[in-house]
Amino acid sequence: MFCFQCQETAGCTGCTQVGVCGKKPEVAAMQDLLVYATKGISAVAQQLRKEGKKVDRAVNHMVTTNLFTTITNANFDKDVIVERIVATLKKKAELLAQVQEKEGLPEAAKWTADRADFPQKAASASVGVLATANEDIRSLRELITYGLKGLSAYTKHANALLQDNEEIDAFIQSALAKVLDDSVGADELVALTLETGKYGVDGMALLDKANTSAYGNPEITKVNIGVGNRPGILVSGHDLRDIEMLLKQTEGTGVDVYTHSEMLPAHYYPAFKKYPHFIGNYGNAWWKQKEEFESFNGPILMTTNCIVPPKDSYKDRLYTTGAAGFPGCKHISGGVGEEKDFSAIIEHAKRCAPPVELEHGEIVGGFAHNQVLALADTVVSAVKSGAIKKFVVMAGCDGRAKSRNYYTDFAKALPKDTVILTAGCAKYKYNKLNLGDIGGVPRVLDAGQCNDSYSLAVIALKLKEVFGLDDINDLPIVYNIAWYEQKAVIVLLALLYLGVKNIHLGPTLPAFLSANVAKVLVDKFGIAGITTVEEDMNLFFGDA
């Protein structure tokens, strides 16, 4: 196996024996083959579009779900991945039969095989990251592919709320076809990287529209981090449609519902506040789940990444749904527009003890674009009076590396006249520090999930307008982003597309950036890593 798609990749170069995430080589092989098959069907779909034929929605959803399935910590179930390859090949054959001009199609578009031959194909030279020999081309192709994986995840969540954008799907498929195409050189791939960022903005906007039109605009909310005295179900991941269905189905059952990690922002939506059994947020970011899932006592529903391979002590309580999966854990099925049946997990919860309290008190969030813009007058006058000197965007992912304590120390060391803008699970490094407020504006403004980084961009663009600036980089905003998996890649590409410069990315730069590609990002966009808290404080605020 060779995988270097996430920040925790072995030795900061690549996982070759087994994933640091727990992904086994045979799962990695099938994920690589699924990506290959998905590029193949995308090339066919792309050709059909060129020939003026319509590609149906089921194909779009298949492509995005396939890519989502291969995101770090989403799906460890080899059998499920094999079935997705089989289904993709079947669909591809149907599409291929409609193509008139097959001549120029890549090998992946024409490949077909029985499942018995999958391991051999996966091990062949044409499949996987190392199929591209040139280091720089490989780096750009992977950077784009990982961005597309993140974009696919966000698109799938929007699809679950019956929102589709054919342009985004057509782009994903054309980009997947291009990263297979040897005639597409480095310059074109650099341009495609930025174009991926453009569609990243569109994808996050689509999801924002889907979420807010279904559930209202997030609003300032105090979220309980303690527990109740009834059994509960803990919901993790990013899919709001899933938690909506579960909240409805648990009503009046005596079972409470709690959020975990990236599901925390569900509390900020007006539509979910009407459920008295929606108790609060339990635990911290994804990587602490081994301890926290054990003490939760009740069943856990993983709607997306990030799954840590479970301990035997609670494995029978771990359920998956959507693109998430783990061998031996029960999967709750249900497609777009279907009502999922959560009765098994609800019945399971009834047999469990209530959660053990880990913490108590409250955290505050709900500062997505609509809420912040409602506070615009207060914020703008605080900036004008000098009460707020700078905003620090610290969005992104959390992770288990000790080096990530940097972000806690960095938040603590920030000058008192700074405000953190955050989104994603990175916030768990500092959202319980009680950093206080500035004239009523909390010093940590949590917009929501990683996809709600879109809100941070909307806020920045609004501030640019209010202050009459020509360039987004003239705002008093610095960017110190933490990344882990591929959703952070699409967020980064979206920010680059919007023209944001001098983003600091940590705790380490991606292993998939070759020296030359990293140099392009440094030269064109001023991307940099992090150093020590002291040095970075000096860099960001030294002249303040």
Q: Does the footprint of ligand SF3 cover residue 425 (CB under 6 A)?
A: yes
- Exposure string for 57-68, b = 16+ CB within 10 A, e = fewer: eebbbbbbbbbb
Distance CA(164)–CA(333), nearest Å, equals 21
Cis-peptide, bond into residue 507, ω within 30° of zero: yes
- Which string of x and - marks every residue 484-513 that binds ligand SF3 (by CB under 6 A)? xx-xx-------------------------
Distance CA(468)–CA(384), nearest Å, equals 13
State in angstroms the smallest separation of the CB of 184 from ligand SF4.
25
Residue whose CB is less far from ligand SF3, 128 or 424: 424
Sign of CA dihedral 261, 267, 269, 271: positive
The residue number with the shortest CB distance to ligand SF4 is 19
The DSSP string of 29-97 is HHHHHHHHHHHHHHHHHHHHHHTT----HHHHHHHHHHHHHTSTTTB--HHHHHHHHHHHHHHHHHHHT
Residue whose CB is less far from ligand SF3, 238 or 348: 238
When binding is defined by CB under 6 A, the residue of 11, 12, 13, 21 that contacts ligand SF4 is 21
State in angstroms the smallest separation of the CB of 287 from ligand SF4.
12
Q: Does the footprint of ligand SF3 cover residue 397 (CB under 6 A)?
A: yes
Residues in 207-236 at the binding interface with ligand SF3, rule: CB under 6 A: none
Residues touching ligand SF3: how many (CB under 6 A)?
A: 15
- Residues 440/518, Cβ–Cβ less than 8 Å: no
Q: Does the footprint of ligand SF3 cover residue 450 (CB under 6 A)?
A: yes
Distance CA(40)–CA(88), nearest Å, equals 9
- Residues 501/525, Cβ–Cβ less than 8 Å: yes
Q: Does the footprint of ligand SF4 cover residue 15 (CB under 6 A)?
A: yes
- Residues 236/187, Cβ–Cβ less than 8 Å: no
- Which string of x and - marks every residue 30-69 that binds ligand SF4 (by CB under 6 A)? ----------------------------------------
DSSP H helices in 161-264: 166-178, 186-215, 240-250
Q: Does the footprint of ligand SF4 cover residue 393 (CB under 6 A)?
A: no
Q: Which stretch binds ligand SF3 (CB under 6 A): 182-190, 213-221, 346-354, 481-489?
A: 481-489
Q: Which stretch binds ligand SF3 (CB under 6 A): 172-180, 209-217, 400-408, 479-487?
A: 479-487
Q: Does the footprint of ligand SF3 cover residue 32 (CB under 6 A)?
A: no
Residue whose CB is less far from ligand SF4, 391 or 484: 484
Q: Which stretch binds ligand SF3 (CB under 6 A): 53-61, 202-210, 482-490, 534-542?
A: 482-490
When binding is defined by CB under 6 A, the residue of 46, 66, 72, 236 that contacts ligand SF4 is 72
Q: Does the footprint of ligand SF4 cover residue 138 (CB under 6 A)?
A: no
Pairing type for strands 256-259 and 278-281 reads parallel
The DSSP string of 125-166 is TTSSGGG--SHHHHHHHHHHHHHHHHHHHHHHHHHHTT---H
Give Cα 34 distance to the centre of its chain.
Answer: 19
Q: Does the footprint of ligand SF4 cover residue 19 (CB under 6 A)?
A: yes
Q: Does the footprint of ligand SF4 cover residue 199 (CB under 6 A)?
A: no
Helix axes of 533-541 and 405-413: crossing angle, nearest 10 degrees: 40
When binding is defined by CB under 6 A, the residue of 147, 299, 355, 424 that contacts ligand SF3 is 424
Binding residue per annotation — 352?
no
The residues, any chain, with a CB within 8 Å of residue 457's CB and separated by 6 or more, are 201, 494, 495, 498
44 binds, among ligand SF4, ligand SF3, none (CB under 5 to 8 A by kind): none
Three-state DSSP at 445 gives: strand
- Residues 147/200, Cβ–Cβ less than 8 Å: yes
Q: Does the footprint of ligand SF4 cover residue 8 (CB under 6 A)?
A: yes
State in angstroms the smallest separation of the CB of 6 from ligand SF4.
3
Closest CA to 138 of 322, 320, 337, 4: 4
Compute the chain's Rg from CA coordinates: 23
8 binds, among ligand SF3, ligand SF4, none (CB under 5 to 8 A by kind): ligand SF4
Q: Give backbone dihedrals phi and psi of 340, rounded to 5 degrees, phi first.
A: -80, 150
- Residues 398/428, Cβ–Cβ less than 8 Å: yes
Tokens of 73: 């910590």
Q: Does the footprint of ligand SF4 cover residue 401 (CB under 6 A)?
A: no
Binding residue per annotation — 331?
no
Q: Which stretch binds ligand SF3 (CB under 6 A): 76-84, 320-328, 431-439, 480-488?
A: 480-488
What Cα–Cα distance (Å) separates residue 134 from each residue in 141, 341, 458, 517? 10, 48, 38, 12
Residue whose CB is less far from ligand SF4, 3 or 96: 3
Residue whose CB is less far from ligand SF3, 49 or 288: 288
Interface contacts to ligand SF3, rule CB under 6 A: 238, 261-262, 286, 305-306, 397, 424-425, 449-450, 484-485, 487-488
Interface contacts to ligand SF4, rule CB under 6 A: 3-6, 8-9, 15, 19-21, 23, 72
Binding residues for hybrid [4Fe-2O-2S] cluster: 238, 262, 306, 397, 425, 450, 485, 487
Binding residues: 3, 6, 15, 21, 238, 262, 306, 397, 425, 450, 485, 487
Binding residues for [4Fe-4S] cluster: 3, 6, 15, 21
